Amino acid sequence: MPNRGGPAGPAHPIRETPAPAPAGETEEQVVEGGDPDEGATIDIVVEKPRPDWLFPKLDHPRVQAFFRNDAMTGSSLFDPEPPPPPVPLVRAGRLEVQGAASPAQRRAARRFARRLVADRRDALEACYVDALQRSAGDAVKLTFSIEVQNGSRSAFHLDRGQLGDTFGNACVMGVLEFAPAQIEGRDRAEALRAHTVKIDIPVWFWLQSQTVPG
């Protein structure tokens, strides 16, 4: 259709190719193609610049900081293996049984003593961790004794050792008082045949990275 007030010219097809970009940015028009008077197609490319904070390039400071940070990759495979973190452990040592009338009674008493320590192991380890916060830690050995009569045990008695300080010993003694008080299961019949059996129970406290002396 001819322009009003001017000479008529040939109609030219116009193709607009918008480039994706966030809304609200300034548009820039670039005209490409041949001479429009010869009937060439006019391509109008609308480019909208992308903000650096949304689409940063390789030289952006944030990108460089990301590549220099090793938080996502960890240590190198060629680095020496770091030592494992120390873990507090509690185990019963060699038990001494006195007054057993038979090997079966002796075995029943030892199984019962080991079950007492295993039943309260988590709480004993918590006592050790609390003691380490107040004093330098090392392998510690506490020796307790109990008496078993008619299938029931007496109160724990601390014979030797100290877990850091008096507060550590008090924590251990309080924990052991909640251990099982009676022999149950197949060992109960053997325990009822004995008059009084005394059991010495050594308990070791140490960190996993340390070696317990013999």
Quote the distance between the C-alpha of residue 117 and its chain's center. Answer: 26
Q: Residue ranges per domain, the chain? A: 14-68, 89-207
Q: Is 0.75 topped by the overall pTM?
A: no
- Location of structure tokens 């193709």: 15
DSSP β-bridge partners for residue 141: 204
Taking only the tens place, the pLDDT of each residue in 116-137 is 999 999 999 999 999 988 886 6
How many CB atoms within 10 Å of residue 105? 21
User: Of 50, 19, 206, which Cα lies nearest the Cα of 129?
Assistant: 206
Window from 28-37, 85-94, 188-197 with minimum mean pLDDT = 28-37
Taking only the tens place, the pLDDT of each residue in 49-99 is 776 667 777 888 888 887 777 666 666 666 677 777 788 899 999 999 998
Q: What is the pLDDT of residue 73?
A: 65
- Contact assessment for residue 170 and residue 176, using Cβ atoms and an 8 Å cutoff: no
